[in-house]
Amino acid sequence: MADLTAAAVSPNLLTPTAQPSAAEMAKRGQIKDTAHKFESSFLSVMLQQMFEGTDAPAPFGGGPGETMFKSFLTQAMADKITAGGGVGVAASVQREMLKLQGLKA
C-alpha cells in the first residue's frame, strides 16, 4: 500500500482515473527518445567546443586520424553522459514536447 502515489489515486473516488491508451504511451516513448537524442547531440557539440584547442603531442596524436575520430569520441562521451542522467536538458525538452502535443507530464 505504501507504493501508491498521489498520481495513481483519483481525487474523486467515484470516477476512476483514465488509463493512457497504447497510442499515447507510444507517443510518450517517442518523445522521451527524441529528448534524449537532442540532449546527446547538444552535449556532443559542447564537448567538441571544449576539445577544440587541445592537441595530443606525437607519437600519440596528430594527423588526419585524430581530427577524423575526435567527433566519434565526443559523441560517445555525450551518449554516456545522457545515459547516466544527463544535465537536465532532456527533461526540459520532454516536458515542452508533451505540452505541445497536449499531453500532461
What whole-number distance in Å separates Cα of residue 41 and Cα of residue 35?
10
- Count CB neighbours of 78 within 10 A: 21
- Read off the pLDDT of each residue in 76-98 and give the average, rounded to a whole number: 94
pLDDT tens profile 15-43: 666 787 888 889 999 999 999 999 999 99
Contact call for residues 70 and 44 (beta carbons, < 8 A): no
Chain mean pLDDT for the chain = 83
pLDDT tens profile 53-63: 777 776 667 77
Model's pTM, two decimal places? 0.71
